[in-house]
Amino acid sequence: MVTILDVARLARVSKATVSRALSGKVFVREEVKARILQAVAETGYRPNRLARNLSNNTTHSVGLVITNGLYNGPFFSGMVYQAATLSEKHNRQLVLADGKHSAQDERNAIGLLLELRCEAIMIYPKYLSVSELDEIIDENQTPIVVINRELIRNRTRCVFTDHRRSSEEMMAHLLAQGHTRIAFVRGSRGSPTGEQRLAGYRDALKKAGICLDPQLEVQGAWSTESGYAAGRELLARNVAFTCVLAANDDMAIGLAKAFQEAGKSVPEAISLAGFDDAVIGKYYTPSLTTVHVPIDEMIRDAMEIVLRPEERALFSHQGTLVHRDSVARLAETR
């Protein structure tokens, strides 16, 4: 590996002179600089950007922690794309760190980004609790913002949406269409977002005076495959239902496939709805009724927080219902 010492020897100068010449911040005689640049070209030397940035105490980079279990799907790929686009707009490099499979893994990923001297860090947590996230922010001077989780102590360091309320609003719409036997496909176990959406489903049924039926709740895992399996399980239980609300659009698409194979068309036989407003839902047939989650706006606000931490504001967003073709009035389907 070529080092700065190799360049210095070839150019017949000191390492310090090479460093000054390449930084461009200190005057170096033109003939000396020319020898150094020639030596760089001949040796193929590449300056250690990280080391140089560490000496300047800046890396012009923004970190993002997200567990690899969330990579698989259009919703999260869109989120990463938005983060990368905004980082570029702000002349920053996005550094992605994998939160892997536990709270400790997410801590390690945050630690890695801190060691790399990222000037700010965004976290889309799956395992770390609210109290643990508050503690991490309190312990570090580097600006850190949490996406999709409402914090207790650091209210101005989080960007979130009320998934429980959005779920209640979706359920109110489905109930207004005459559906009372509404099944629910849950997200992955331990997911705060999934638990909030499930709570909204249950709250809405309780408010409508409808008893909960455990047979109408099926465990999913966010993926299209898990939605397909949940659809087959629902049908195998042989319980009556006229509508299914999936905790995300990916699972709703899998459900539609299971129903189609069973000869039950959407929405003629079974109405179907989801969450997230994934692109695929708009172009699927029938197009999917869903809740739009403003993830682009959430990432934009997160970037504003980490790059301008002195500006104190609470960034709370609301999901919005998107009415499409996959839900029909019960009177029209029977």
Domains and CATH numbers, the chain: 4-56 (1.10.260.40), 61-155 (3.40.50.2300), 163-293 (3.40.50.2300)
**pLDDT one-digit tens code per residue, 296-322:** 888 888 888 877 766 566 677 788 999
- Tell me what pLDDT residue 58 has: 56
Radius of gyration of the chain (CA): 26
Q: What tokens appear for 278 in the block?
A: 């994934």
- Rounded CA separation 186/184 (Å): 6
pLDDT tens for each residue of 43-64 = 877 766 545 554 555 568 888 8
Q: Max CA-CA distance within the chain?
A: 89
pTM of the model: 0.75
What does the alpha-carbon distance between residue 201 and residue 212 come to, in Å, rounded to a whole number? 10
Q: Is the pLDDT of residue 286 over 90?
A: yes
Name the nearest CA neighbour of 315 among 84, 117, 78, 151. Answer: 151
Judge whether residue 333 has pLDDT over 50.
Answer: no
Question: Quick one: CA dihedral 321, 322, 323, 325, positive or negative?
Answer: negative
Mean pLDDT of the chain: 86
Do 94 and 84 touch, CB atoms closer than 8 A? yes
The pLDDT assigned to 304 comes to: 81
Nearest in space to 309 (alpha carbons), one of 319, 297, 301, 298: 301
**Of 163, 162, 208, 212, nearest in space to 183 by CA:** 212
pLDDT tens, residue by residue, 2-20: 788 888 888 888 888 887 7
SS3 179: coil
Of residues 132 and 37, the one with the higher pLDDT is 132
Distance CA 134, CA 139 (A): 9
pLDDT for res 54: 47
Question: Can you list the alpha helix ranges (DSSP code H) found in 178-294?
Answer: 192-207, 224-237, 249-261, 279-283
Q: pLDDT (tens digit, 9 = 90+) per residue, 181-208?
A: 999 999 988 888 899 999 999 999 999 9
